[in-house]
Amino acid sequence: MKILITIISLLLLSTGCITKNFNKINTDTSGHFNLTQNETNLISESKQRKKVNKHDVNNRAYKAKLTIEKLCRKRVNLGKNAAINNINKRSKSLAIIKTLELMTNNERANFMRIYNNGNNTISSLLSQQFKHSSLRTKAAELIKEASIIQIKKERIIISDLDNTIKPTNDPSVDGYVYPGTVKLLNTLDQKTTGDIHIVTARPFGARNSLNSASIQYNSISYGNIFGITAWLLGFHNPIKDRKVENIRRIMDQNTKSSVVLIGDDGQADAGAYLQIMQEYPERVEAALIHNVIGRKLPEAFYASTNSIIYNDFEDAAETLYSRGIINKMETENIINSLRNQ
């Protein structure tokens, strides 16, 4: 037996033990450590995950807003009895509470900011969607916890839709959206997603167009049929008046935020934006007008140092960069996205 053990020991010593990935870390002649390809891949994947997670954090408040708005749009079925409808209302309230609970206080504070600055308010959410006092109290407590957090005001973007985002009457472009639009809007929308507001002359029907174009918008402010009719008949320009009214409301909801205005030369955008620049001179960073039909704009708009007239979003990005509104890397990303479409 002793002889057998001795033979096995000698064999092990002579052949050595196999160790997987023994050369996992090597050193070069300078003494620096070199990582294997596997470790390099792991580090790269880790960085990518951090980047994705950071982007997800910035979107979490906006995603919560969309979730809660979707829940709020669910209607009570009048054909069902009161008991079933009561259960459905309670389930909706619980789902809203769960959405609020899944956010950190900081995310919830950002959610409150973008929710209040759109077409809805937190107070209406609590009063209309929580019929049970205990659930309303629970939701109010979650809101109160976040309300004490100081959230930095971010830039808001107010944009027209037709011939600005969507090439409605522009035969030179196919598709739902002008090339580079989404990237430019997302770039202007700063750290927390949810500050893009659409102000359109359309009386309805903007939501589907925006969803088709994958625009992450906060709110939509519509025009009306009477305004469009009066404009077509050559009367005064009620489209401009309506847009100014809608833009004022958004700016007054975002009292400390700067704004970038984006429109086109087709109807009333330049006149409306000129009036807004005159009323809020310290807050308008830039007013961009897309040159689609070559219509002459108000002389005062041309003269404004904040006005930008652009032919495409590459042109717009380069001008925004020259004004210091976006940086070089953001500009290159917009241009690359435009060229890849």
Residue in 103, 199, 165, 209 with CA at minimum distance from that of residue 312? 165
Residue 15 inside a domain? The answer is no
Helix axes 37-73, 105-116, angle to 10 degrees: 50
Report the alpha-carbon distance of residue 181 to residue 175 in Å, rounded.
Answer: 12
Report the alpha-carbon distance of residue 98 to residue 170 in Å, rounded.
Answer: 45
Same domain, 126 and 193: no
pLDDT of 170 strictly over 90: no
Residue 90 inside a domain? The answer is yes
Residue 48's pLDDT band (boundaries 50, 70, 90)? very low
As a whole number, mean pLDDT of residues 180-207 equals: 92
Report the alpha-carbon distance of residue 80 to residue 73 in Å, rounded.
Answer: 18
**Residue-wise pLDDT tens digits, 106-131:** 999 999 999 999 888 999 999 999 98
Same domain, 163 and 231: yes
As a whole number, mean pLDDT of residues 52-70 equals: 78
As a whole number, mean pLDDT of residues 258-284 equals: 95
Same domain, 116 and 140: yes
Same domain, 115 and 241: no
Residue 17's pLDDT band (boundaries 50, 70, 90)? very low
Same domain, 101 and 187: no
Give me the number of domains the chain comprises: 2
Write down which residue in 147, 180, 201 finishes a domain. 147
Which secondary-structure segment (H or E) carries 308? strand 307-310
Sequence-ordered list of residues with C-beta below 8 angstroms from that of 281, at least 6 positions apart, any chain: none
Residue in 205, 199, 208 with CA at minimum distance from that of residue 161? 199
Higher pLDDT, 311 or 234: 311
Q: Count how many Cα atoms sit within 13 Å of the Cα of residue 135 in the half-sphere of its side chain.
A: 20
Same domain, 182 and 321: yes
Residue in 75, 95, 98 with CA at minimum distance from that of residue 85? 75
Burial (CB count within 10 angstroms: exposed 0-12, middle 13-18, buried 19+), residue 142: middle
Residue 3 inside a domain? The answer is no
Residue 29 inside a domain? The answer is no
In which domain, by residue range, is 122 found?
60-147
Residue 47 inside a domain? The answer is no
Residue 36 inside a domain? The answer is no
The answer to whether 178 and 169 are in contact (CB under 8 A) is no
Same domain, 117 and 215: no
Point out which residues pair with 156 in neighbouring strands: 259
Helix, strand, coil tally for the chain in percent (to 5) = 55, 10, 35
**Cα separation of the two ends of the chain:** 77
Higher pLDDT, 84 or 313: 313
Same domain, 192 and 319: yes
Instruction: Return the SS3 of 196.
Output: strand
Same domain, 96 and 221: no
Residue 12 inside a domain? The answer is no
Write down which residue in 113, 147, 181 finishes a domain. 147
pLDDT of res. 266: 85
**Residue-wise pLDDT tens digits, 62-83:** 999 999 999 998 775 655 677 7
Same domain, 214 and 69: no
Residue 233's pLDDT band (boundaries 50, 70, 90)? low
Write down which residue in 147, 174, 205 finishes a domain. 147
| DSSP β-ladder status, 25-27 and 33-35 | antiparallel
Q: Count how many Cα atoms sit within 13 Å of the Cα of residue 103 in the half-sphere of its side chain.
A: 29
pLDDT of 239 strictly over 90: no
Residue 326's pLDDT band (boundaries 50, 70, 90)? very high
Same domain, 252 and 108: no
Report the alpha-carbon distance of residue 91 to residue 85 in Å, rounded.
Answer: 10
CATH number of residue 218's parent domain: 3.40.50.1000
Residue 125 inside a domain? The answer is yes
Tokens representing 84 are: 């079933």
Which region among 39-53, 135-149, 233-247, 289-303 has the lowest average model confidence (pLDDT)?
39-53
Looking at every residue in the chain, the average pLDDT score rounds to 81
Residues belonging to the chain: 341
As a whole number, mean pLDDT of residues 174-196 equals: 91
Report the alpha-carbon distance of residue 327 to residue 29 in Å, rounded.
Answer: 41
Sequence-ordered list of residues with C-beta below 8 angstroms from that of 32, at least 6 positions apart, any chain: none
Same domain, 132 and 164: no
pLDDT of res. 209: 87
